[in-house]
Amino acid sequence: MAKTFGRFIVADPAICHGELTFRGTRVFVSDVLDQVASGMAWESIIEDWQGSLSREAIAEAVRLASAALLKHKEEFSGNEHSGREHHRKPVIYRTLV
């Protein structure tokens, strides 16, 4: 059964093994976030994916990534007192990928 994350992002076991994708596509959210992080213009990202994404979809992915980071900031801070193992993949990776 598909899980929805806002209007544009889904995780459907029948599509891309349940990885987060944009609704109606096989475009991985993690790929688009990597493009945003590299400084690529959003219009170029939309062109790169042949118009299958919108500015609103990219914005939603950025907002959700930001929310995940803020919610799990202690796991990213390197704070020795958090009691968490630091060799695990960051939660944002596990959450968004």
Q: Is pLDDT larger for residue 20 or for residue 72?
A: 20
Q: Which domain holds residue 9?
A: 3-96
Q: Tell me, what's the pLDDT at 85?
A: 45
pLDDT confidence bin for 47, thresholds 50/70/90: very high
pTM for the predicted model, two decimal places: 0.75
pLDDT digits (tens, 9 = 90+) for 10-35: 999 999 999 999 999 999 999 999 99
- Name the domain count of the chain: 1
pLDDT confidence bin for 89, thresholds 50/70/90: very low
The answer to whether the CB of 16 falls within 8 A of the CB of 10 is: no
The domain spanning residue 41 has which CATH number? 1.10.10.10
Rounded to whole angstroms, the Cα distance separating 35 from 78 reads 25
The length of the chain is 97
Residue 57: which residues within 8 A CB-CB, separation 6 or more?
7, 8, 9, 22, 23
